[in-house]
Structure 1
């Protein structure tokens, strides 16, 4: 199993569609006893939160966010946690909006300090 996400800051490796998370978005993760949560902001996202569970190297969580245009949106994501060769953490994500149309994949990696 990859190391704990607790206290890690992760960032997308590529921009998504406008109004969604992008390379300027930063996620600050927390993890305790199989529970995960994070706060995120940056780019088109003013504030976002996610909450869910971790089972081995699989995360399953729901997210909600407030965008710069004042709209909110929510969805579901399943991620696989891996350790990169340089020791950083990577999440390979499959997400789907629940408040609007759309789904896709994304990758977030531990930000370089």
Structure 2
């Protein structure tokens, strides 16, 4: 199993569609006894939260976010945790909106610079 996500900052490696998370978004992860949660913000997202569970290297969580245009959205995501050759954490994600149409995949990786 990859190491704990607790205290890690992760960011997408590529921008998604406009109005969604992007390379300027930062996720601050927490983990305790199989529970995971994170706060996120940046880019088109004013504030976001995710909460779910971790079983081995699989995360299963729901997310909700407030965007700069004042709209909210929510969805479900399943991620696989991996460790990169340099020791950083990577999440390979498959997500689906629940509040609107749409689904896709994304990758977030641990960043070492402070949140912007």
Name the TM-score, length of structure 1 as normaliser: 0.99
Please report how far the alpha carbon of residue 39 of structure 1 lies from its aligned counterpart in structure 2 after TM superposition.
0.1
In the TM superposition, what whole-angstrom CA distance separates every residue of 1:42-61 from its partner, at most 9, and x where no partner exists?
A: 00000000000000000000
Name the TM-score, length of structure 2 as normaliser: 0.97
Provide the secondary structure at the position in 2 that maps to 1:93: strand
Q: What residue number does 1:44 align with?
A: 44
In the TM superposition, what whole-angstrom CA distance separates every residue of 1:22-76 from its partner, at most 9, and x where no partner exists?
A: 0000000000000000000000000000000000000000000000000000000
Please report how far the alpha carbon of residue 112 of structure 1 lies from its aligned counterpart in structure 2 after TM superposition.
2.5
Alignment of 1:1-113 (within 5 A): 1-113=1-113
What is the total number of aligned residue pairs between the two structures? Answer: 113
Please report how far the alpha carbon of residue 13 of structure 1 lies from its aligned counterpart in structure 2 after TM superposition.
0.1
Gaps of 5+ in 1: none
Q: What is the CA–CA distance in structure 2 between the aligned matches of 1:56 and 1:66, rounded to whole Å?
A: 30
Q: What is the CA–CA distance in structure 1 between the aligned matches of 2:54 and 2:19, rounded to whole Å?
A: 27
Gaps of 5+ in 2: none
Query: What value does the CA root-mean-square deviation take over the aligned residues?
Result: 0.4
Please report how far the alpha carbon of residue 79 of structure 1 lies from its aligned counterpart in structure 2 after TM superposition.
0.0
